[in-house]
Amino acid sequence: MFSKRKDISCIAIKSVSKRIFKHSSKVKMKKIIIIITLLIPRIALAQGLSIDSCKALALENNKQIIQAKLKLQAAEQVKKEAFTNYFPKVSAQGFVMRVSDYMIKEEIPEMNLPVYDGNPVNLLQPTQFAYFPGMQIETYDYTNLAAITAIQPVFSGGRIINGNKLAKIGVEVSEDILENQKEEVLLKTENYYWKIVTLQEKQKTLDAYLRLLENLNKDVNAAYKAGIVQKSDLLKVQLKLNDVEVKKYQLKNGLEILKMAFCQHLGIEYTDGFQLSDSLSINETPESVYVNHQQALYNRNEYSMLQKSLEAEKLRKKMIIGENLPQISIGAQALYLDAFDRQDSYGIAFATVSIPISGWWGASHKISEHKIKEEIAQTELNEKSELMILQMEKSYKDLSESYRQIKIVEISLEQAREHLKIVTDNFKAGVVNTSDMLEAQAIFQEQKNKLLEAKSNYKMKVLMYKKSVANF
């Protein structure tokens, strides 16, 4: 699974390959390939996964995307099945009958039959006769029949054409649903990714904060031993150290749980070496990602599905009308009959016309129903289009606000950094007390965390805006 990742360093692989192939005379090629395959996942984990490789894994392994693909395949089969309605329907029939007794039984009595002597005049008044003793007639105790029939629709009220159009819309809607599902999965992937990156960065800032406190603890401890400060100052620093140690442990556990959830989302196995490689760098401004919202509306999958829903309602109305128009078909049949001790074959050509008469009463109401449904679909398209435009506007405003927040926090961070420097210098000079020093460090730490959260929030706002304008 990991062998498909794009972020594995070529240099690392070449290095491993050279070491193994150096001894290829002693190891079989098959074993060499197995060793490289086993080492690749470890190399990938050690270097960390990029956002692009995580997206690729999510698209490949996510269960919801797999289900959407299966539904698309099912819709394609429906479309293919609808296409077969253009061709003749061929059927074969067979019939075999055996009767326990003869179905035709006749008895001819004995009689004198006139004999024709060649003179037509004597037919009315015969003078010669032949005696017929009578006989029993028994027949028809079986029938064998076989037939092949082909029927080709000539006119069906447009139901075949419209049925194929409906099936095509079904495929297109399934494609839109699949694309929507991919966007949702990618959005969730990025959400996981940047949350983990943010926590990883917070770990670094917490470690730096911990080092500041440890240095402060040494200085205060030395000052306490020298009698410069009271024990309460030392205890304040130590309590703060303990508090940061607890937060560090909590952050570590939270990050591990989040990584496990992310691996489950990606469809890979979690290991202790799981790392991400990208940083919270901001490369896009709100202006650089802005697009015209009215034009973006037509590119959204949701808009496409609403349009197809309207088109489908129009086709369903045409299908109902077509069901109540005359239906014309032509056909041919090859028939084989074995009965009465005779075997015969026949070729039959026929045409059928079916004209619904009483059905139009109920059909008129059905057509009116679909006209109303068509109006509902049109109204829904108009309403949802307006809402999607509003969503884009709001998303862009949120994006701009988030970007401004980063700039404000950056200024605050620089101010907190300067404040910490001044307080640190004054603390070393003995001008300020330990509480002031602890407060300055805490303010600086807080601003660093705020900047990380602001950048992480901006990353998600960019994604949400791109998704809203169909540019994800």
* Tens of pLDDT, residues 79-103: 999 999 999 999 999 999 888 888 7
Supply the pLDDT for residue 262: 94
Chain-wide mean pLDDT for the chain? 86
CA–CA separation, 111 and 266 (whole Å): 100
As a whole-number percent, the residues of the chain with pLDDT over 90 amount to 61
Q: Is the pLDDT of residue 124 over 50?
A: yes
Residue 125 has pLDDT above 80, yes or no: no
236 pLDDT higher than 50:
yes
Average pLDDT of the residues in 170-179: 94
pLDDT > 70: percent of the chain: 90
pLDDT of residue 202: 94
Spell out the domain ranges in the chain.
1-47, 57-91+158-328+360-468, 104-139
**Regarding the domain delimited by 57-91+158-328+360-468, which CATH topology (the fold level of the hierarchy) does it fall under?**
Outer membrane efflux proteins (OEP) (1.20.1600)
Q: Would you state the pLDDT for residue 387?
A: 96
Q: Would you say residue 137 has pLDDT above 90?
A: no
pTM: 0.73
